[in-house]
Structure 1
Amino acid sequence: MAIEEEQQAVPIFLPEYISASNLSRALKQHVGPFLQDMEEMGFENVTSDTIFTGETAALIAMEYGFEPTVDTGSQRDLRPRPPPEDPSVLPSRPPVVTIMGHVDHGKTTLLDWLRKSSVAAQEHGGITQHIGAFVVKMSSGKSITFLDTPGHAAFLSMRQRGANVTDIVVLVVAADDSVKPQTLEALKHATSAKVPIIVAITKVDKEDARIEQVKADLSRHGVEIEDYGGDVQVVCVSGKTGQGMEDLEENIVTLSEILDVRAEDDGMAEGWVLESSIKPQGKAATILVKRGTLRPGDLIVAGKTWAKIRVLRNEAGLELDSAPPGTPVEILGWRELPTAGEQVIQSPDEAKAKTAVEYRMEMAEREQSSIQLAEQEQRQREKAAADAAAEGESGPTTAGESTEPGVLTQNFIVKADVVGSVEAVCGTILELGSHEVRPKILRSSAGQITESDIDHAATSNSIIVNFNCTIPPHIKQRAEEAKVKILDHKVIYHVVDDVKAALSDILPMNVSFRVHGEAEVLQVFPINLKKRVFRNIAGCRVRNGSIKKSSRVKVLRRGEVIYDGKIDTLKHVKKDVQEMGKGTECGIGLEGFEDFQPEDQIQTYEEIKERRYL
């Protein structure tokens, strides 16, 4: 019988995520023995609330003789199309070029020059808004799409994404400054994403330009440049005078022809979110279209939000009726702000878009709840361990609740102009701190500071970091009234400095003691104060330094402190004095202490408190 049963495995349908208690019910097992079986199978700390993924649950079900099918739910989600079988037959698209390099190395000047030429070609007025990407039309009629990634170390995460959507990286190195840490960082991203590089040596019009030095530095860091027999092109340019700019554009076109970048301009569109922010017209996101063509009225999904495209705009603020591959466009019509770096996929209809977003939300919630559960279990275990250990010293002061005993936390609320900056600023803040003080970000979002942010900061004792946003006057006033500190900056390095200072403020002070004088008790005199009230006074000789009446004082007996307090009387013979020097003899009476013995040491000291900095 048993053999027959084994051969006929019972089919079972499992969801993507399932709790241990539900799984035991589905497998017709009692929870208690089932959890014991789990432990035997090697699962640690399993409770009835532990959530398994469908794959894990399927393996467990097989152990019990079931034949599982896991609901992947993927039918509800939107997926990109499979890559084309033969890309060479597809129409070509403009190459996407990301400009990377160290801050202050002239990226912006270079971009402005390119942008001017693109604006001049389109014959519009100046750029009305900066959407982080723009298209330059060459005199030959070819187009190039430029992405502008910020140059700070903090925008690392964005830059990694930038390298994903990029065909060519232009690495900007200043001729007067050569290779810097951020230059190497950009290099690392480009090489890890296997993106070809063109080096642009900027500021060549400056007197202290050292072009050969830059080339030598680059080759030392593994860039195989043409002059040294490699295949990386180097162009000397100046964003101010425009020198070498046409060569740079030519090089980009030549390299893109070699790369032969192509994409379908039909079918369901795909792309990437470069940036998103709240504009007066509504929630806006800059999208780089990679495949297909976007048009107003299309439905798109990005991460856990979707949009019916209300308006497509190019970098000059002009409304477009279509956005083919390689085009950066600003899209209005989002339900929620998408996160920078999310993939954008076109949906055939609204129902599908909503279902996909619901599915993604569900997945995120389940993942979140399983993480929270794991964290809760971990906390309970740590608490039990901590309770078992001796009670340590009391936790931190009012600056904020502590995550670990002895660690002080300072709460922050982060607001920035765009989502990418929010992430970058949060990342930068969280990197600061030490084993004694740590930053904790309670809220972060794109957009201006709101009244609720001020109220939240006031109740949670938080500092608001405002990056690249204007602060309305009534908000400033409200913050002053609520005594909420706002750090308002446009440069990430200034944010770092201010956050460090704020964390330094809650660092406990360095307390040190400086001994000013030492006296030895030679004998003890009982002095009659009134009637039968006597008081012991120590007859002492000052061995070192001087004894001041105003100083704090310790009494040491055989190396142990038996009293710490203040001097009540200091006498020389019968006269009250304020200070006695080395080698003199004096009588010392202490506040609330009379238990002197000969050979006790009396030390006067001062407590020195020094501020510490991170």
Structure 2
Amino acid sequence: MDKKTKKKHGASRRSRFDEEDDDNWDDATERRAEERRRRKAERKAQRDLEVEAVEEASGPPKLLIPEFINLANLASALKLKPDFLLNSLLEMGFENLSPDSIFTGETAALVAMEFGYDASVDTGGERDLRVRPPPEDVSSLPQRPPVVTIMGHVDHGKTTLLDWLRKSSVAAQEHGGITQHIGAFMVKMSSGKSITFLDTPGHAAFLTMRQRGANVTDIVVLVVAADDSVKPQTLEALKHARAAQVPMIVAINKIDKPDARPDQVKADLARYGVEIEDFGGEVQVVCVSGKTGEGMEDLEENIITLSEILDVRAEPDGMAEGHILEASVKQHGKSATILIKRGTLRPGDSIVAGTAWARVRVLRNEAGVELTEAPPGTPVEVLGWRDELPAAGDEVLQAPDEDRARTAIGYRMEMRYREESSKQLAEQEQRQREKEEAERAAAEAEADDVEVDEETGTTMVNFTVKGDVVGSVEAVCATIQELGNHEVQPRILRFSAGQVSEFDIDHAATSRSTIVNFNNAIPAHVKRLAEDKGVRILDHTVIYHLSDDVRQTLSAHLSDTITHKVIGEAEILQIFPINIKGRTFRNIAGCRIRNGMITRSGSVRVLRRGEKVFDGKIDALKHGKKDVSEMRKGTECGVSFDGFEGFEVGDQIQTYEEVREKRTL
């Protein structure tokens, strides 16, 4: 073997060994890489297990939601795309949503829970002021003066009665003898016990003020004039006292008058559900005269006795709480009358009422005397309001300091702005929906709440009847079926006893029915559903009124009576061919107005020997060469008609107007 051959043989052997080493190295490398991947996967699985364990221990992820949030921001908080959240909400049953739709915190929290979050609503508890929890043992607290509200009809003597109680002349200071604002006074009775009186106005313009008086009081004294008995505002005062669940004393006033009828007043009160003592009830009745003082001692004794039975108590220490009775701007600045219910208010305290706040500068009683403190049950005038005045009826809460009061006001202003924005957006969306529905309804050929019988041509109007009992339902059905004529007839699809339900609304919307509800309360959510679905509900407690309403509903489907009223008459005396263009001529009727007037805009008909040959519009009305809008009796004019030139000399022209009259059954 020569050198060249040996060299070549050695090279090939080395190449073969190198290839074997490379193969061995590749296998080792692959095994090491596989080992690394396995260890990495094990570590990742271990970490996942640890994370799952932590999550199971800590629960679902927590989410804090503000009181109002729009859909786009909610999607961002849930780490979802707005379109995905929108579609998911539509599947859940939400309607008419857009990315700008605003949810309340409670609704948004429920949605977040559907996506696996532990959601809670930020109610501003840390920023806003809250009422203190009630004391555990009220009986251990000191007594406070009871709050007595005088209520009744206008001019029944409420202020005069109070005038006698507090031995002052307030009635004479009122404009026209009518109380114009809530007056709050603390009166020391002859027994030495103090009682706070609220004098509420009696006439209708001050309904809300009278309602507020009932909501902050402990006892209501209902004043009824012996010569006038029970009046509408007397009944309203009764309603407010019952709604507030406040005990009541009836004072029959003006018994000194010769035409006084106290027994009639008692009977009237009993008829309206007042269980007076004379008839075995619990409501005390006292006959008094605010003018002569007769019976006033008995009234005072009854008030004191009832207040002792109620045993009203409140803690004099701690943060003050109360209600705004009235607020106004006076010569000495912004003023508000507050009735303190708990705690004690002192000058220098910071208080919040609604979105207004004050650092108490001066406390005054009803006599204008400055006070150093106002304990529970005290009505007091407060000066020192900043920026704006509170609204009557607002709850008053004391803040620990001025900074805390400002923080609470800032939070409340923010909430009010959000509520207003939410309301405006909801109104805008509602208007858009109404516009779309109106356009869709306009596109439909005819009203979709009626059906025409093809054989008789009678219009059928569908009804669903609901009543309190079966007998009422039968009577209502019989009354409805008696109505109608050959043109329009009622058709009762369903009838049953019981309240109107959501199913009734859905059925009425599908069948295009009107619901007749007799002597039944309608739940609020059912009313809202009916409004949303455009279902009309005829709600009555008197069957005659119900019959009238159904008759009107049927009458709405009767065709109008159409009559023609002739406005003017003219006779064609001559025909003039007028050159329009080139060899194009047009006939003009030369006329004389015989009666009334011929108007350019009115409808016109041409009669020939009593028969109508044309009915349409006037194209042009001329006096000479001048265009005119009308021509009156005795004048001559030229008339051309829209699309008609076949008139002849001697034809009669009449202009008329169409009169439509609504028909009723």
Normalising by the smaller structure, the TM-score range is 0.5 to 0.7
Supply the distance in 1 between the matched residues of 2:220 and 2:620 (Cα, whole angstroms): 70
State whether residues 296 and 321 of structure 1, in contact with CA within 8 Å, keep that contact through their aligned partners in structure 2. yes
What does residue range 448-527 of structure 1 map to in structure 2 within 5 Å?
524-526=572-574
Aligned twin of 2:363:
312
- Cα distance in 2, alignment partners of residues 248 and 156 from structure 1: 26
Residue 104 (structure 1) shift: 2.0
Letter paired with 2:399:
S
1:254 to 305, 318, 324: 305
Residue 183 of structure 2 is matched in structure 1 by 132
* Residue 403 (structure 2) pairs with residue 351 (structure 1): yes
Residue 372 of structure 1 corresponds to 424
In structure 2, the residue matched to 1:86 is 137
Deviations 1:128-155 (A, max 9, x none): x986211111111111111122222232
Q: 1:287 to 1:548 in 2, by over 3 A?
A: same
Higher mean Cα deviation, 69-78 or 261-270?
69-78
Shift of 1:242: 2.4
Q: How far apart are 1:167 and its partner, in Å?
A: 0.7
Q: Deviations over 1:438-491 (max 9, x none)?
A: xxxxxxxxxxxxxxxxxxxxxxxxxxxxxxxxxxxxxxxxxxxxxxxxxxxxxx
- Distance in 1 between the 2:102 and 2:310 partners? 47
Question: Does the aligned pair in 2 maintain the 1:273–1:344 contact within 8 Å?
Answer: yes
Q: Tell me, yes or no, if structure 1 residue 279 matches structure 2 residue 330.
A: yes
Q: Which residue of 1 aligns with 2:538?
A: none
User: Is structure 2 residue 161 aligned with structure 1 residue 113?
Assistant: no
Do the aligned residues in 2 keep the contact of 1:105 with 1:174 (CA within 8 Å)? yes
> Secondary structure, in 3 states, of the residue corresponding to 1:351?
helix
CA distance, structure 1, for counterparts of residue 381 and residue 194 of structure 2: 18
Q: Cα offset for 1:556?
A: 4.2
**Secondary structure in 1 aligned to 2:108?**
helix
Q: How many residues align?
A: 456
2:231 alignment partner, one of 175, 180, 205 = 180
**1:296-307, aligned counterparts within 5 Å?**
296-307=347-358
Query: Structure 1 CA distance, aligned partners of 2:169 and 2:345?
Result: 22
Residues 572 and 651 in structure 2, CA contact (< 8 A), matched pair in contact too: no
Q: What secondary structure, in the 3-state scheme, does the structure 1 residue paired with 2:313 have?
A: coil
What CA deviation, in whole Å up to 9, does each residue of 1:549-608 have, x standing for no partner? 799987445596745999989xxxxxxxx97xxxxxxx7745756876767563689x9x
Q: What's 2:344 paired with?
A: 293
- Given residue 365 of structure 2, which amino acid in structure 1 is its aligned partner? N
- Residue 201 of structure 1 is matched in structure 2 by 252
Write out per-residue CA displacement over residues 54-104 of structure 1, whole angstroms, 9 at most, x where no aligned residue. 332332222222333433321222111111222222211111111111112
User: Percent identity over the alignment?
Assistant: 64
Say which of 57, 60, 71 aligns to 2:122.
Answer: 71
Q: Please say if residues 312 and 322 of structure 1, whose CA atoms lie closer than 8 Å, have aligned partners that are also in contact.
A: yes
- Match of 2:556? none
Residues in 2 aligned to 1:45 and 1:551: alpha-carbon distance in whole angstroms: 51
**Does the CA-based 8 Å contact 2:327-2:335 persist in structure 1?**
yes
- 1:348 Cα shift? 1.5
CA distance in 2, matches of 1:102, 1:591: 72
Q: 2:214 aligns with which of 147, 153, 163?
A: 163
Determine which structure has the larger helix proportion and give its number.
2
Over 3 Å counting, the alpha-carbon distance change for 1:186 and 1:316 in structure 2 is same
Q: Which has the higher contact order (CA 8 A, sep 6+)?
A: 1
Query: What secondary structure does 1:146 align onto?
Result: strand
How far apart are residue 183 of structure 1 and its match?
A: 0.7
What letter corresponds to residue 524 of structure 1 in structure 2? I
- Other structure's SS at 1:344 match: strand
In 1: Cα distance, 2:105 partner to 2:616 partner:
66
Is the alpha carbon distance of 1:519 and 1:280 closer, same or farther for their aligned partners in structure 2, counting shifts above 3 Å?
closer
Higher deviation after alignment, 89-98 or 554-563: 554-563
RMSD across aligned C-alpha pairs, in angstroms? Answer: 3.8
Paired position in structure 1 for 2:512: none
Q: Is the 8 A contact 1:169 1:190 kept in 2?
A: yes
Post-superposition offset of 1:205? 1.9
Q: How far 1:19 moved relative to its partner?
A: 2.6
1:186 positional shift: 0.7
Q: Is the 8 A contact 1:226 1:234 kept in 2?
A: yes
Q: 1:567 to 1:184 in 2, by over 3 A?
A: farther
Please tell me whether Structure 1 or Structure 2 has the larger radius of gyration of its CA atoms. Answer: 2
Task: Give the letter for the 2:417 counterpart.
Answer: E
Cα gap change, 1:561/1:258 in structure 2, threshold over 3 Å: closer, same or farther? farther
What aligned pairs does 1:197-236 form with structure 2 within 5 A after superposition?
Answer: 197-236=248-287
- Other structure's SS at 1:29 match: coil
1:380–1:555 distance in 2 versus 1, CA, 3 Å: closer
CA deviation after TM superposition for structure 1 residue 277, in Å: 0.8
Residues 1:537 and 1:161: Cα distance change in structure 2 (over 3 Å)? same
Distance 1:554 1:56 in 2: 61
What secondary structure sits across from 1:186 in the alignment?
helix
Aligned 1:324-363 pairs, distance under 5 A: 324-335=375-386, 336-363=388-415
Contact 2:183 2:199 in 1 (8 A): yes
What does residue 61 of structure 2 align with? 11
After superposition, give the CA deviation of every residue in 1:528-567 in whole Å (9 maximum; x if it has no partner): 99xxx99745579x8xxxx457999874455967459999
Residue 551 to residue 592, structure 1, CA distance change in 2 (3 Å): closer
| Amino acid across the alignment from 1:12 | K
Q: Does the CA-based 8 Å contact 1:265-1:325 persist in structure 2?
A: yes
1:600 and 1:245, CA in 2 relative to 1: closer, same or farther beyond 3 A?
farther
Change (3 A) 1:83 1:242: same
| Counterpart position of 2:463 | none
Is the CA contact (8 Å cut-off) linking 1:548 and 1:604 kept in structure 2?
no
Does 2:319 correspond to 1:268?
yes
Over residues 155-208 of structure 1, what are the superposed CA-to-partner deviations in whole Å (9 max), with x where a residue is unaligned?
222322221110111111112211111111110111111111111112222222
Q: 1 CA distance for matches of 2:166 and 2:598?
A: 72
Q: Residues 369, 48 of structure 1: CA spacing in aligned structure 2 closer, same or farther, 3 A cutoff?
A: same
- Counterpart residue number, 1:487: none
Structure 2 CA distance for partners of 1:518 and 1:218, relative to 1, 3 Å: same
Unaligned stretches of 5+ in structure 2?
1-44, 171-179, 444-561, 578-585, 607-611, 625-631, 660-665
The answer to whether the Cα contact below 8 Å between 1:311 and 1:332 also exists between their aligned partners in 2 is yes
Please give the residue correspondences for 1:369-448 in structure 2 after superposition, counting only pairs within 5 Å.
369-386=421-438
Change (3 A) 1:223 1:527: same
Tell me which amino acid in the other structure corresponds to 1:349: D
The amino acid across from 2:64 in the alignment is: L
Instruction: Give the whole-Å Cα distance in 2 for the aligned partners of 1:192 and 1:386.
Output: 41
- Which ranges of structure 1 fall in alignment gaps of 5 or more residues? 120-128, 392-512, 570-577, 580-586, 608-614
Query: Could you report, residue by residue, the CA deviation over 1:296-318 in whole angstroms, capped at 9, with x for unpaired residues?
Result: 11111111121111111111111
**How far has the Cα of 1:7 moved from its partner?**
4.8
Distance of aligned partners of 1:247 and 1:568 in 2 relative to their CA distance in 1, 3 Å threshold: farther
Secondary structure of the structure 2 residue equivalent to 1:40: helix
**Measured at CA, do residues 253 and 118 of structure 1 come closer, stay the same or move farther in structure 2, by a change above 3 Å?**
farther
Q: What is the one-letter code of the residue matched to 2:221?
A: V
